[in-house]
Amino acid sequence: MTPSPPATDAPAAPVATDVPVAPGSSARRRARAAAPVPYDFRRPLTLSREHARHLSMALQRFARLWGTQLTARLRALVQVTFDDVTLLTYDEHVANLPTPTALFVCTVEQPRGTALLQLPVPATLVWVDYLFGGSGLGDEREGRELTEIETTLVRDLVTNALADLTYTFAAIMPLQLSVRSIQYNPQFVQAVAATDAVLTASFTLRIDEKRVDTATLMLPAEAVLAALRTEQRPDGETPNPDRLVRDKADLERATLEAPVEVAVRCTPRVVHPRDVVDLAVGDVLPLSHPASRPLEVVVDDVVLAHAAAGTHGSRLACQVVSVEENHA
């Protein structure tokens, strides 16, 4: 038994770590992590932490396999890094894509759907140059599209990558994709409805440390999230529809009973700072609100209705005269 060292008044030396941490950085990280994120009920697209973790693990494995496959085929060092996965509407996904770009429209089997793999055209031309024994020069001309031969070569590389995606998603769901066509303007591709939810994964591609590009993969969210929810159940069974109805009713009831602050206001008026600083008792400040126009009934700065001012007993009150139909 080794005797313990004698106690001293000097403070204990800090334990060494593999990653240096700047003073106060851990406290700042905790503060950032604890900051609440507002929830927008008008855009209820959220990805649960558990689902995001499962998807990130599968997509990280896919990125490693994809990079290994490209390195072997191109005979050049290719690194593919998974960056992030988010839940968006299809319109938002398309709005974030560059134009022009190589957009591989893929058919998803069981259930039937459409997926999109986006690659920068200059990056695919670098791949073609390596396949023909070149030095990876590529072609940076604006608006350049793939020729028929180049399309065949790149399509073969993408098909092999989609096979790796099938392998990495096997633990979540049977995901089989096949390339259907190649487009160059995302605005002309209507893979799903504009408001449908999609999963968007982004990747960083590095080739020989000389070129860095960003690629994205879009998957239909409904099928993937349904498979994740089924996987989380210990018995693997589909959730009881009656229970889902009850849960939805409980959520609606709790939402309707949540307290909110209602305000009645006039039309705001813009004034100069000097007008506010010089205000004194007895000053009259004309408002921009016409006397014949009803007041605005607002919740969280959203106009819900219009009302006329009045009284109710000994209290001020307002009577609703019209309701905004597009406030939800």
Q: What would the pLDDT profile of 123-140 be if each residue is shown by its tens digit?
A: 999 999 999 988 888 888
8 A C-beta contact, residue 215 and residue 124: no
For residue 29, what pLDDT is reported? 52
For residue 245, what pLDDT is reported? 72
Cβ neighbours of residue 128 closer than 8 Å, sequence gap 6 or more: 150, 153, 154
Burial class (CB in 10 A: 0-12, 13-18, 19+), 71: middle
Distance CA 11, CA 215 (A): 51
Q: What is the mean pLDDT of the segment spanning 191-210?
A: 90
For residue 135, what pLDDT is reported? 86
Per the rule left: phi > 0, alpha: psi between -120 and 50, beta: everything else, 313 is left
Place 7 in a pLDDT band, splitting at 50, 70 and 90. very low
Place 26 in a pLDDT band, splitting at 50, 70 and 90. low
Place 285 in a pLDDT band, splitting at 50, 70 and 90. confident
Q: What would the pLDDT profile of 55-91 be if each residue is shown by its tens digit?
A: 999 999 999 999 999 999 999 999 999 999 999 999 9
Please give the domain boundaries of the chain with CATH numbers for all domains. Answer: 43-244 (3.40.1550.10), 262-275+286-323 (no CATH)
Percent helix, strand and coil across the chain, each rounded to 5?
A: 35, 25, 40
Cβ neighbours of residue 263 closer than 8 Å, sequence gap 6 or more: 297, 298, 299
For residue 10, what pLDDT is reported? 46
Q: What is the DSSP string of 313-325?
A: TTEEEEEEEEE-T
Distance CA 208, CA 226 (A): 39
